[in-house]
Structure 1
């Protein structure tokens, strides 16, 4: 009873807080924590500040030449429920808002009071483009401000990519950022999902956003911090400094929508610039940077400024953004098919990747990897992963443009072949509807067996648009990682492709719970898209059985079952089990796993179904341990019952830093040559995948 009353009281407190919520940014709190925990951070901050002052004294000497600075962005959407799994459209509205605010094309720019119009920044020449949207289902309710979400889902190429985590921070915190000069393992900005996006965009009324912080200005504010801007009151009193000369002294943050002439420091000249993006007012009442703030942001891209990697080694050169994709050829008549029998046809090799795809007909040259022959005709395209094309090297293959403006339906089919080691890498199909911005349409990882598999994807969401597609093959940590595609087709009536498409099969999910149904949930994913989901089941009786029918169109899927405690549903606390069946075939089954188990399966045109791999996460066998952690020169891995395992150390940029084998008699990993920082240690033995975060000093 006491527990229920406590929860009720907390809920009432949260509700009351929501009605009177003020903007809360945790950047300064995070900044102080980093200064105390990282002795080098203060030194780097001092160096960056000295460079910034030199820049401000002579900005034209240091200012980057060229019309624009492009900032590619990877957005990590980490969600505990379907509501938090915000749509691609909501994500795009946020990027559009950043480009408006940093480009001074926002519709409220001219609301700037006359006393500040002479010091407005104008166009900062900073532009933001989506490089990738990554989605992660996680049962954790809130993430706090201690960078837990960054450690769990590490940043991608932080030296030249702006990483944004969209995850519920909790505690009323809208967002927080890391200033330049901090650890790359935690670089980027974090925002709660209800404050990430612009409700004024087309379709914005359907976004998951919370007024009065629903116009995307939280991200504008936090990206300002990421580019070395402080709060305009200097996080102190009237004697504190925000290091910008043209923002008047302020003694405290402003909230809501203050009236013109507000002055929190009457003894100092000038009213508060409360409409500045670096104050705490509501989204509708902030609409400018100052010229001095623009100079500070520009200084971060100079050599030594903390963001120089975006210009010294840019990850990609976008095509300009907006409108339809740039195309040398556009397909308008369907069905369209390409099996690469006469060359690449209208397809082209990527220009900014590590190596090219290969056209082949006689089987890949490496043993125990790749297809032996094509699935349609004689030729296919594949990624040759032998040295020097691994680890973590990327090969891109781009399609022509496909004009779907006059189509009433569109279905894409192709065949893929991933055969090699379990850590062979990842194959993704990405789509672009505006040049330079790509999102994942489908992806799959690891060994899928020595067979061709068909994929069928519905393109109806893109009717009326011109699209471009890109296959991205990313090698793993082994030469046994050849991946291939063949028999690509787009049809307007559901026909076409070597295996056909358009059918629907009824699958049946049966789950017998253990003694803790509140720990169990599941998803069916097509690529990164959640097709169906359920749980957790706190209201279900212990040991009860759930039966649910799910209609699935032809294609390939992942069924994932999760246990939040990490002990599966059998057999420590009850004898739970699960099965997913269709057409007389078992697509997924089990019960004994760790934190999750993933079963990959396909359903074809004749309603036949087949399972082709099972992967487990969080299965820790008896006796497994990793120490010391932190480590200086050597990591010791105690394997318990595991006798022959492969390991991979991946740094926070997603790059494989070291691979090898370990056993009970050879259990040491030499890490003395690795750069200090956080790493993910993955130990793989048969179907078991063990994951540990380790710190190397």
Structure 2
């Protein structure tokens, strides 16, 4: 049994704790000013005089869009409509002295996600961008808000960092937290801020320390230091030994929530009005969008592993880009895995959903602002997946006027097979602030799910000036003495292994080589080690095609196994910085070797690297193998891949070929014997029309000065038939 003395001591300590710390359990604010905010505020305050007008000349009403979390089933909203009205009433009362009022922008929007509704952690803040309305203040309500392991009342984004405030449901009803968070939204710091040093009681440094306002007394941080009568109970002193005498009623302090009845000081009001007229001016001028989050550190990457990041689904289109993993709901369309990590974005083309995803439905994904450096060789790189018999179109568009208008700079359409393809879009012609869009347009049916992943914006290096690798042809490698000059990459999961006489696992892999004794293969054994989706990368030395016109890569491949993955051949023109898939095959191809040829003519005149990429399947039965690899090159034979659909006696001559500059002579002796007009069409290697020329002459000169280096086709067409010829610009 405890002694009476022990009991008395215990009660005394308990009472002291209640008086001193009893209200320390009140939830704090989680708002954090951005880096170098003190510099921003010092500049701001220089433009505000102490006796400036703290009210707007004309009253304004600012729009608020309310976002309420609910369970995934649509139940248990964090706040009710009556509670939202309480918030509006609080804000209108607190901001009235500045001639500022608030109204609801649109009906309340709901976020149906149980995990967020139960407890929203600040680490998920960036995912809220996708729900924002650009021209309104966005207030999000959750049943609980946390920062790390601590519960908080909420937080708001300072000017230049976002367009939202996040509130804990219970705190939103205490009469002051909503006004407090919008104070941060309009640039105001806590009265106890120490971002540029602690303010002295005598206020000798009030304009350069603390919260930067000289009409808010120095504040030691009031958590637990204000009693139920709203009296300060602390005894702390500043660096000069002066005792603090803080304002316990200022809405930006950490006093009791019920004591924050004094609103804002005169200088705080001046700063709020200045913020509204500059940082947040879009709230009064809807045509001016908010300052967007800017990407200005490169290389930049986004694989959607934690949401959409700073990207947002546009409004006004038909459907959305949806975050997903492990396959889309429909069979025969969409990817089964991500290109990088676990998640990707895709367009759901099903017709049995609301809204219907096809036919010809558009989904637009907007980037944040991207600040490209001057005179840089920047590029956009991403993976795209287009599997389905009715696949539509993916486009990349760019805006240089803050989204007022967009121009298409890349597009692909049609079925590309069940593989991730790689795109590289040159941005070297742009500098300063741009915005990008991914625009997906579904096809004629539900079999048109398209996906994107692994977005990167980075500087592209130039083509290597010299090559000490493969410089003479034909070149061959059958791996009889190892992997030769090829290199195992370290950024992958597993290696390509030299082997002979069968791989260790049954019912997968070859039993012998096709040339010599050895081959290379990917060992898929071991869950988590060799499968699933483990990548093996083998990279060639540089391949010098500067003087080659019709190069080809040929090889034998073996893909036998019930859970076979994907084999790709990839090409880089910038020393391995970026890779483009030139060929791919996936799935079980049977227990036999197959042969494949990959045309490298598109890379004539350049130095490249090749890469063999093997991605194992869902089990150990996915060993794949390569053997008898060759690179060959022919002369500049303009008849390669040419096509003729007439029987007249004719002779077509194109010279010089290859051509470096000047005019290409196109001689059509006998083809236009009747003198009628002949149409000459110039296309690129992929068949895109570059130019169309009409001519009555047997010899036509075509200026190539506007053409980039590469492979082109000339299609000559008149009533007598059609002839296709190829030429190379170096």
The interval holding the TM-score normalised by the smaller chain is: 0.3 to 0.5
Greater relative contact order, per chain length (Cα 8 Å cut-off, separation 6+): 1
TM-score, structure 2 as length reference: 0.40
More helix by share: 1
Max Rg structure: 2
TM-score, structure 1 as length reference: 0.41
